Amino acid sequence: MPGIMALRRRAGDDKPLKNAKIVGCTHINAQTAVLIETLAELGAQVRWAACNIYSTQNEVAAALAEAGFPIFSWRGETEEEFWWCIDKCVNAENWQPNLILDDGGDATHLMLKKYTSMFKMIKGIVEESVTGVHRLYQLSKAGKLSVPAMNVNDSVTKTKFDNLYSCRESIIDSLKRSTDVMFGGKQVVLCGYGEVGKGCCQALKGLGCVVYITEIDPICALQACMDGFRVVKLNEVIRNVDIVITATGNKNVVTREHMDKMKNGCVVCNMGHSNTEIDVQNILLDGAAVDPMPNTAWFRRLSELSGVPSSELR
């Protein structure tokens, strides 16, 4: 925040972002509010939606809207409302965005898929999450990424601090609030040993968990081994673990087949951006879901009960 405020003071009079029309799709909190105000102070026009259906601070969104910023977000959106909000940021009367500030690639994905002609007018994309960067690489490989994109996630301040230290704090806080379980002695398998996975492992190990790692990257797998963790295949431990955590940014890491093998009361959670790492849609087809506590869904399948923090896993 001090850096952003210093930038605002230094460049506010020059308006370096004059004529910039930015579609923003990030978490909406107090820090984001400072960013939005700074972008406007530097000359940009913005329209903003949330990248996560649960993370919006309603009081912040309301304050920004009252200040005149087009904000489309509230805590607890449905899937349909989530995409509606992003659509309202992209498509509006007398509005042609030329920059995208994205977290997870959802705004980029929607514009490319639904508003192809508008996407061609985009001058640049800034992406800050591992998941969103993966999606950009996929678009580039398929020859569909026709505009410059900046990989903010790989910046030192993002990878080495936010991904590692922030996730180390939030994984425990989130699980404690949503499940109220005791961690000492729990067997945990963590899928992915990137910077996010490393932070989660440090926190879990510090609380006395027995931590297993699944990892397809040989270097990251070796790092996990050197850090004292046992590297396994998910199928080897899925029947015995108490908690399953995904932190890969990929699709279908935990499948229906894995869930069928989980023991009674196993907790499944996602530290990645979106709900694609855990195949929740498949289990919803025939699983009876009840909500015993906020932001948690419990699925009863084959006489088993598995808890999934955040019913939509976003």
Helix (H), strand (E), coil (C) string for 272-303: CCCCCCECHHHHHCCCEEECCCCCEEEEEECC
* pLDDT-wise least confident of 58-72, 147-161, 198-212, 287-301: 287-301
Give the chain's mean pLDDT: 89
Spell out the residues 6+ positions from residue 236 whose beta carbon is closer than 8 angstroms to its own. none
Pick from 193, 181, 272: nearest CA to 230: 193
Q: Domains of the chain (ranges plus CATH)?
A: 2-154 (3.40.50.1480), 165-309 (3.40.50.720)
The model's pLDDT over 145-176, given as tens digits with 9 standing for 90+, comes to 999 999 998 888 888 888 889 899 999 998 99
* Cα 288–Cα 292–Cα 293 angle in degrees, nearest 5: 130
The model's pLDDT over 214-260, given as tens digits with 9 standing for 90+, comes to 999 999 999 999 999 999 999 999 999 999 999 998 888 999 899 98
The model's pLDDT over 102-151, given as tens digits with 9 standing for 90+, comes to 999 999 999 999 999 999 999 999 999 888 998 999 999 999 999 999 99
pLDDT higher than 90, residue 66: yes
pLDDT higher than 70, residue 302: no
Distance between CA atoms of residues 138 and 308, nearest Å: 28
- Global confidence as pTM: 0.77
Token pair, residue 235, equals 């199928």
**228 phi-psi bin (left φ>0, alpha ψ -120 to 50, beta other):** left
